Amino acid sequence: METIQAYLERKHEELRLLNECLRSPLPLSPPQSVDEVIKAKFRITAALRADHELRDWKATETAWSATACPASGPFRFTYDYQRADLRVVGPSFYQDESGCTGRAVYTASGMAAISALLLASAAVFDKADILVMPGCYGETIELIERLVPHLRLVTLKGPPGDALARAVSRRILLLDSCIPAGAFEAVLRVDASGLDLLIFDTTCFAGGSGRIRRALRWARRCRIPVVMVRSHTKLDSLGAEYGRLGSAVFVDPGENGSGSFFEHLARETSDAVRLLGGAALPAHFPPYVGTAAYWKLTRRRIAAILRNGRRMSRYFASELAPLAAELHFSHGLYVTLRGKRPLDEASARRAAELMSRDLSGEGFPIRHAGSFGFDFAATEWFHHATTDRYSVRVAVPDLPTELWDGLTAAIARWWGMHQADLGNGRRGFRRPKAVSPANFDDDLKI
């Protein structure tokens, strides 16, 4: 268990790292509460973005100034008009020992990265099957179904087995970090030498995750070229949404003659980014990435989130089992809850909003926010693309153990109390009685 004092000391280290990237660092006192941590982190990152604009005022979209030298911390950029030819020199968002070295194409978001890649694949594959596991990110599935006609979507209903063995048709596997843990592990146990390409969405795994290393070792054994796509908005900015940023990293095992086709795919993806106007913004590269201190603090943050996630999963399995939709995603960053009656998008969204409002009003660090990896718990509606069912996602925060255990119990209590109000078309939610101290700041002040 992490004590409140140890948590606040760790958060002060994070804030110092961010603050030291400013040309004129802000006055920074050790935080005395979780609320102070959250506010200080977002305030400093806002100052960093403003600092970037003031320093690199010559580096505009039209690249009018020949003397511009755009940079963001350790990252250096060169580009012409509209960043269509953006080149980035700087540290990787993946730790070096993970084996993730390869050509990186940076984009304006994670969806921009996978969209450019899938559309570009039409120049490489006339037709191909793209195999997906149940639970893949819904917008990726929607993208394939609506805009990528040369790829035939094949959803694997059970363990992959022989589905990844050699076949007559071209085959691409989309391995998504948001699928259930059992499905992810099942993939890594089979022979996949029949695949032509692995697209690995690593968004929900930390850049130094052992699961990334294991997946890449598996791909090397099977001699499969890999493209890792990622949204860097989630786990790569120490819990503050620094800016919209994504990437596609091309990792070629170099042992199956894939070189020319893989280089072709990388070039076509870069062209697709240019033609779609999806290039990354230099201002969205966090300037504190890549240092030893950054990796140390990131590892500690992710370890705390995963620890909290395991505690929540065990508690919900014991106290809320009939209402748990999925407690064991491969990433361990969130769980989903269902209602006794089926939810639609509107009722799931409303439930997420009201649960956050009510528990936040009781003093808990929880928000209605459509992302994860924060220093506060985040709730949002969730759609399972394969089953077409809606639920509410509870994203695990980096919080001290005792406070998180209290919030976990409060979430379970709220969800259980409001089942009569949940379901399609029901909008009248009753506010529960207060079940915790009025302000979590008062409990956490040192």
User: What confidence score (pLDDT) does residue 440 get?
Assistant: 38
Please name the helix (run of DSSP H) or strand (run of DSSP E) that holds residue 310, with its range, or none: helix 292-319
Give the residue from 261, 284, 307 where a domain finishes: 284
Tokens 């179904």 correspond to 145
Looking at the fold, whether 209 and 97 belong to one and the same domain comes out as: yes
Paired sense of beta strands 389-395 and 377-384, if any: antiparallel
Tens-digit pLDDT profile for residues 41-79: 999 999 999 999 998 888 888 878 777 788 999 999 999
d(CA 422, CA 120): 43
Looking at the fold, whether 30 and 151 belong to one and the same domain comes out as: no
User: What confidence score (pLDDT) does residue 81 get?
Assistant: 84
Q: How many domains does the chain have?
A: 3
Looking at the fold, whether 250 and 268 belong to one and the same domain comes out as: yes
Looking at the fold, whether 277 and 315 belong to one and the same domain comes out as: no
Looking at the fold, whether 278 and 324 belong to one and the same domain comes out as: no
Residue 64, in any domain of the structure = no
User: What confidence score (pLDDT) does residue 298 get?
Assistant: 97
Looking at the fold, whether 179 and 202 belong to one and the same domain comes out as: yes
Looking at the fold, whether 182 and 156 belong to one and the same domain comes out as: yes
Percent of all residues in the chain with a pLDDT value above 70, rounded to a whole number = 90
Where residue 264 sits, what CATH number does that domain have?
Answer: 3.40.640.10
User: What confidence score (pLDDT) does residue 421 get?
Assistant: 78
Residue 252, in any domain of the structure = yes
Residue 130, in any domain of the structure = yes
CB 195 within 8 A of CB 164: yes
Residue 346, in any domain of the structure = yes
Give the residue from 284, 315, 344 where a domain finishes: 284
User: What confidence score (pLDDT) does residue 437 get?
Assistant: 38
Looking at the fold, whether 34 and 154 belong to one and the same domain comes out as: no
Tens-digit pLDDT profile for residues 393-409: 999 999 999 999 999 99
DSSP label of 280: P
Please name the helix (run of DSSP H) or strand (run of DSSP E) that holds residue 176, with its range, or none: strand 171-176
User: What confidence score (pLDDT) does residue 44 get?
Assistant: 97
Looking at the fold, whether 234 and 381 belong to one and the same domain comes out as: no
Mean pLDDT score of the chain: 89
User: What confidence score (pLDDT) does residue 100 get?
Assistant: 62
Looking at the fold, whether 103 and 182 belong to one and the same domain comes out as: yes
User: What confidence score (pLDDT) does residue 69 get?
Assistant: 85
Cross-strand bridge partners of residue 226: 198, 251
List the structure tokens of 235.
């786990």
Looking at the fold, whether 257 and 387 belong to one and the same domain comes out as: no
CB 88 within 8 A of CB 94: no
Residue 63, in any domain of the structure = no
Give the residue from 263, 284, 305 where a domain finishes: 284
Which residue range forms the structural domain that includes residue 346? 294-444
Residue 289, in any domain of the structure = no
* Tens-level pLDDT at each residue, the chain (446 residues): 899 999 999 999 999 999 999 999 999 999 999 999 999 999 999 999 999 999 888 888 887 877 778 899 999 999 988 888 899 999 999 987 555 667 999 999 999 999 999 999 999 999 999 999 988 999 999 999 999 999 999 998 866 766 676 666 899 999 999 999 999 999 999 988 889 999 999 999 999 999 999 999 999 998 999 999 999 999 999 999 899 999 999 997 665 545 688 999 999 999 999 999 999 999 999 999 999 999 999 999 999 999 999 999 999 999 999 999 999 999 999 999 999 999 999 999 999 999 999 999 999 999 999 999 999 999 999 998 888 899 999 999 999 999 999 999 999 999 999 998 776 544 444 544 444 433 434 333 33
Where residue 312 sits, what CATH number does that domain have?
Answer: 3.90.1150
First and final C-alpha spacing in the chain: 18
CB 260 within 8 A of CB 233: no
Residue 253, in any domain of the structure = yes
Cross-strand bridge partners of residue 89: 76
List the structure tokens of 319.
């106290």
CB 269 within 8 A of CB 229: no
Tens-digit pLDDT profile for residues 203-229: 999 999 999 999 999 999 989 999 999
Please give the sequence-ordered ranges of beta strands (E in DSSP) within 171-281, or none if there are none: 171-176, 197-201, 226-231, 246-251
Looking at the fold, whether 107 and 189 belong to one and the same domain comes out as: yes
List the structure tokens of 380.
């949002």
Residue 174, in any domain of the structure = yes
